[in-house]
Amino acid sequence: MHGYQIISTIAERTEQRWTPSAGAIYPRLAMLEDEGLITITVNDGRKLATLTDRGQESVDKRADDGDILDAYRDPEQPGGPHGERRAAFRRLKEAVRGADDDNTERIVEILQEATDKIEAL
């Protein structure tokens, strides 16, 4: 698949709830290539990503983890291996966005405290 196909497939499989940007996809593809999980070839001016044997093994190992995109299909059902984290983070983002600007200093303080606690785990 080329990058645009990957973006379109993710958007389709998440029922348009998540459409990753090219800025999210292309660096990830470069990383996967560096790790030997995909190869990138140029075909008709487009970069085509193909799983290597090692990449397919990685996919196969994760087959029992469920579909990570489930969390994006129904926001009420977190799903996926990190669904609960995503749901909690989504709730946090909504709370921060909805907070009064007068509370910015305290919000930053709380976020820094939470970050310190998570890093200490």
Task: Judge whether residue 80 has pLDDT over 70.
Answer: no
Higher pLDDT, 78 or 35: 35
H or E element that contains 120: none
pLDDT value at position 76?
56
Structure-block tokens of residue 98: 């909805």
User: pTM for the full model?
Assistant: 0.54
pLDDT value at position 43?
87
Query: Strands (DSSP E) along the chain, which ranges?
Result: 38-43, 46-51
Backbone angles phi, psi at 41, to 5 degrees: -125, 155
User: Which amino acid belongs to residue 31?
Assistant: M
Residue ranges covered by each domain of the chain = 1-61
Percent of the chain with pLDDT over 70: 83
Structure-block tokens of residue 18: 């998540």
Q: What fold characterizes domain 1-61?
A: Arc Repressor Mutant, subunit A (1.10.10)
Burial of 71 (0-12, 13-18, 19+ CB in 10 A): buried
